[in-house]
Homo-oligomer: A and B are copies of this chain.
Amino acid sequence: MSFYSVNEAAAEIIENEVIPFADRLNIIVSVLENGATVLDMGIHAKGGFRAGKYFAEIGMGGLGRLNYMMMKAGGHLLPALQCVTEDPAVCEMASYVARTKVPWKGGVQVVSGPVRSILGSDDFARSVDYRDPSPRKAVCGVQCETLPDEELADGIARTCGIAPEDLYIMAARTGCMVGAVQVSARNVEQSLPTVYDRGFSMDRILEGNAVSPVICVCDDEDTAYGRVNDCLIYGQETNLTVRCEDADIEGMLEDIPFSKNTDVYGTPFEPLFARCGRSWANVPRDWDAPCRINFYNVKTGKVFSTGSVHEGVLVKGFLGEGGRIA
């Protein structure tokens, strides 16, 4: 991995597979006055599953692959995503995680993607040794409701140590197919910060894959935001292949999954988030947790599982309030 550039790989996918097929992918490409290129994949653009797959695979710097599949929940066959990566730490912590904060419109916009790995722009990016050395282009993704502008592009460029004209910004709101896919695709990712916070070194993680559903996409941003988070905290099952002592896993096993929050487990995320004033600053750190992880320890050949999928919440989100089975 030493010579691999996640930004270069991401830029190549954008230039070879996305921009030339923008019409077919239902996305809109534009260039800002400061030279940054914006890919509207779900602000005004319609997007679609394939565009969402690109958002995620580009966001992972080409180190993860997304497949469409199905997942049974409560008798329903929910559309689902599988993510597979041979380099979970770099793919997720150095690249795909949404963590770098950039000022925008008087507030803060969280930025995800390969650009974070150039300087190591946040604590999660710095949790791995990998740094992307001066790539030709830099790539990031943002989940927002208005189109990125010069202010945001300048802010990202400044924060991440690049020139705005070298930047690609992918953007989609939450309540569209790209939004739903790019969040649900954070299924392997969802596991890593939690175990990192418990002192589990990222270089012990050899490989990762995960499945998570995509429950009903909807226009309403608050409802959509609740649902995409339900997919992660109630619907994601992650397999991590690790090499460590069994005790390193056993010591944190009970403390990992979202289900440990027994006071709120089973409540959809939307009312929980509303209770926090819809601000992550007020969300208890323990709520940002994986649903279920299986640790495969190659050193001992043992597997440790923690957490469980909550089909009831998924079906509720799948059907929506008032949905109906004829």
Residues on A lying within 8 angstroms of B by beta carbon are 1-4, 23-26, 46, 48-51, 62-63, 65, 67-70, 76-77, 79, 82, 84, 86-87, 175-177, 206-207, 209, 211, 216-220, 223-224, 227, 237, 239, 241, 243, 246, 250, 253-254, 257, 294, 296-307, 318-326
Q: Is the interface of A mostly helix, strand, loop or mixed?
A: mixed
Q: In the assembly, how many copies of this chain are there?
A: 3
Give the 5 A-B CB pairs with smallest separation, nearest first. A48-B86, A218-B301, A306-B326, A302-B320, A303-B323
A324 touches B253 (CB 8 A): yes
In the complex with contacts A207-B177, A211-B77, A216-B84 CB distance below 8 A: no
**Closest-CB distance, A188 to chain B (whole angstroms):** 12
**Closest-CB distance, A89 to chain B (whole angstroms):** 13
* Residue from B23, B69, B206, B250 within 8 A of A69 (CB atoms): B69
B298 touches A326 (CB 8 A): no
**Closest-CB distance, A78 to chain B (whole angstroms):** 9
Distance A237 CA – B70 CA, assembled complex (angstroms): 11
A68 touches B86 (CB 8 A): no
* CB neighbours of A51 from chain B (8 A): 86
B206 touches A46 (CB 8 A): yes
B302 touches A49 (CB 8 A): no
In the complex with contacts A4-B23, A68-B209, A298-B218, A241-B324 CB distance below 8 A: no
Distance A70 CA – B257 CA, assembled complex (angstroms): 21
* CB neighbours of A24 from chain B (8 A): 1, 4, 62-63
